[in-house]
Amino acid sequence: MDSTATTAFAGAFRPEPEDHALERVRAEIVRLGLQSHAFDLDTQGFTVLTPEDLDAGDLPTRLREALLDIAEAESGHRPDLDGAGPSGTRTAIGEGQFLAQVLFRDRAFEEALLNEKALALITYLLGENCTLSSLNAMLKSAGRDNLELHTDQVGTPAPFPAYAQVANATWVLSEYSRDHGSILFVPGSHRWARHPNRDEAVDLSLAVPVEARPGSLIVWHGNTWHGALARKTPGLRVSLIGYYCRWYLLPQVLYRQITPAEVLARNPARFSTLMGRRTPYAGPDLDGPHPSLSLAQLSQYS
């Protein structure tokens, strides 16, 4: 057969001779000293950075204050972290006050997205062109019900690909412990590449609760089975939940269409990518086709 007759499709189906994205992603993990966390993600499906590991200065405090401001604006009273908290509204992830779409309500949230350690681990899981899917927060109050085990591969039929399609970076803004309603994970479950069934979802025997201090960060692979314990004590567990996806998936929030121009202008190019504005799926609302991403990109780090 004459190979010259083959039609090229936008450079498709030609592997990069060397995976430069992998080299860049790996170099960033090494530069930031995150090797053990990358190892945790590979082997356990989740990792916890202590406040010392994360070293984000006063950012966690500013994030928490910004969330309390939003909660106050929405409910009419400032939540008391040690007191009774907002009266137990049932939300999709437990009892408390769920704060949806907080990104544009305080510049501290832009900083959180660009935090280099959080971003390096999300990039390790989802590649350099991943986008933010949603940024929400939870003020979790005392309640009776545990949150069932689930994966974050919402709506995806099994088997899932082994590499992550979605991932989560949650900022721990108050203490996490069993009594405070910790998140819990089933270590290694990301390899099972499926959702838990009905019985498995309520069986916490293999799940490990996360104990973490305010200012920690929890990152997990979207396949990992996780849930949360009911909070038993008065007061509130505060978290900022960053949910990310690969560039070819539909994000929960269409940031590409709603991000204000001044927010894009004051941030680096990577922020635009996180907002879904640099993609080969061109449209009038985009910054233009991504210069370095072909439709045939083969690397999971791209």
Minimum CB separation from ligand AKG for residue 142, in Å? 14
The distance of closest approach from Cβ of residue 207 to ligand AKG in the complex, given in angstroms and rounded to an integer, is 12
Q: Does 131 bind ligand AKG (CB under 6 A)?
A: no
Closer CB to ligand AKG, residue 176 or residue 255?
176
* The dihedral sign for the CA sequence 205, 231, 47, 105: positive
Structure tokens at 198: 């009905």
Check residue 168 for interaction with ligand AKG (CB under 6 A): yes
Is residue 166 within the footprint of ligand AKG (CB under 6 A)?
no
Give one DSSP letter per residue of the chain, joined into a string. Answer: --GGGPPP-TTTT---SS-HHHHHHHHHHHHTT-HHHHHHHHHTSEEEE-HHHH--TTHHHHHHHHHHHHHHHHHSS---TTS--S---EETTEEEEEE---GGG-HHHHHHHH-HHHHHHHHHHH-TT-EEEEEEEEEE-B-SPPEEEE-S-TTPPSSPPSS-SEEEEEEE-S-B-TTTT-EEE-TTGGGG-S---HHHHT--TT-EEPPB-TTEEEEEETTS-EEEPPB-SSS-EEEEEEEEE-TTSPPSS-HHHH--HHHHHTS-HHHHHHTT-S-SS--TTSS-S-TT--TT---TT-
Of the candidates 150, 122, 173, 134, the one whose C-alpha atom is nearest the C-alpha of residue 228 is 150
Taking CB under 6 A as the criterion, the residue among 66, 81, 139, 147 binding ligand AKG is 147
Q: 142 has which bridge partners?
A: 231
Lay out the site mask for ligand AKG across 231-250 (x = CB under 6 A, - = otherwise). --------x-x---------
We find the least distance from the C-beta atom of residue 136 to ligand AKG, in angstroms, to be 8
| Contact flag: residue 219 with ligand AKG (CB under 6 A) | no
Taking the complex as a whole, how short is the minimal distance between the CB of residue 255 and ligand AKG, in angstroms?
18
* Cβ-based nearer residue to ligand AKG, 237 or 290: 237
The verdict on 152 binding ligand AKG (CB under 6 A) reads: yes
For the bound state, the minimum distance from the C-beta of residue 81 to ligand AKG, rounded and expressed in Å, comes to 16
- What tokens were used for 141? 């109050």
The residue among 160 and 301 lying less far from ligand AKG, judged by its C-beta, is 160
- When the beta carbons of 143 and 276 are compared against ligand AKG, the nearer one is 143
Q: Which of residues 15-74 bind ligand AKG (CB under 6 A)?
A: none
**Does residue 172 interact with ligand AKG by CB under 6 A?**
no
Pick 21 or 99: Cβ nearer ligand AKG: 99
With CB under 6 A as the rule, give the number of residues binding ligand AKG.
11
- Residue 93 interacts with ligand AKG (CB under 6 A): yes or no: yes
Tell me how far, at minimum, the Cβ of 225 lies from ligand AKG, in Å.
10
Minimum gap (Å) between residue 302 Cβ and ligand AKG: 25
Shortest separation between residue 288's beta carbon and ligand AKG, angstroms = 33
In Å, what is the CA distance from 50 to each residue of 89, 104, 139, 210?
Answer: 30, 27, 20, 11
Per CB under 6 A, does 228 bind ligand AKG? Answer: yes
Q: What is the contact surface with ligand AKG in residues (CB under 6 A)?
A: 93-94, 138, 147, 152, 168, 183, 226, 228, 239, 241
